[in-house]
């Protein structure tokens, strides 16, 4: 009997709280809708992403263990979900093996941050980085982490992108010493 009374009292409290919140929000509904509209509407950064849509040739230089290796690949980008995100597919031969990768790039209107997710066939994890653009240099510097398969621990990463012109851009990624 006490359990039912306690549950009934809790349900009544939840209903009353929900009702009071609902009444308070009705006055702010127009402001709330305005904020959500601003948050969900693609803006100038998303238009910059859209310029990358299409097929690209990639030249890759990789340094591992003091050794430099070069390869070529292809990348295909398209805008998805109403122009809000840039989806990329990458293919190459790396370290003598077929390499496939997939990215999802975003600009969060709320946090004013660039966000990038990366997955590929040489791992089973997801790398996530976040960054900001330096208005003077036009460099976007991302910081994040990925798993180091040698240690099983997170490895800090830094990535830097720069649009050189309408047909060329650079992307550099580095592991950063944890400390």
Whether CATH 1.10.3720.10 fits 44-176: no
Q: Give pLDDT tens digits for 97-110.
A: 899 999 999 999 99
What does the domain layout of the chain look like in residue ranges?
1-40, 44-176
Answer yes or no: are the C-beta atoms of 174 and 153 closer than 8 Å: no
* pLDDT band for position 7 (cuts 50, 70, 90): very low
What percent of the chain has pLDDT above 90? Answer: 51
Left (φ > 0), alpha (ψ -120 to 50) or beta: where does 33 sit? alpha
Q: What is the pTM of this model?
A: 0.78
pLDDT of residue 179: 52
- Least Cα distance to 47 among 6, 107, 112, 97 occurs for 107
Residue carrying the six token digits 């976007």: 140
The torsion defined by the Cα of 43, 49, 53 and 56, in degrees rounded to 10, comes to 170
* pLDDT band for position 25 (cuts 50, 70, 90): low
Checking if the pLDDT of 3 tops 70, the result is no
């Amino acid at each position: 009997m006490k359990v039912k009374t306690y549950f009934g009292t809790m349900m009544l409290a939840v209903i009353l709280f929900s009702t009071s919140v609902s009444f308070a929000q009705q006055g702010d509904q127009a402001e709330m809708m305005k904020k959500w509209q601003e948050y969900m509407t693609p803006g100038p950064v998303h238009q910059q992403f859209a310029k990358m849509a299409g097929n690209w040739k990639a030249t890759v230089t990789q340094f591992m263990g003091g050794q430099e290796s070069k390869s070529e690949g292809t990348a295909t980008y398209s805008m998805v979900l109403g122009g809000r995100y840039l989806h990329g597919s990458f293919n190459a031969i790396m370290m003598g093996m077929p390499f496939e990768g997939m990215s999802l790039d975003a600009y969060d209107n709320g946090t004013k941050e660039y966000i990038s997710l990366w997955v590929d066939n040489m791992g089973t994890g997801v790398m996530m980085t976040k960054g900001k653009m330096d208005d003077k240099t036009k460099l976007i510097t991302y910081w994040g982490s990925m798993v180091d398969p040698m240690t099983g621990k997170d490895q800090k990463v830094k990535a830097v992108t720069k649009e050189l012109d309408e047909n060329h851009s650079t992307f550099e990624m580095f592991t950063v010493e944890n400390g």
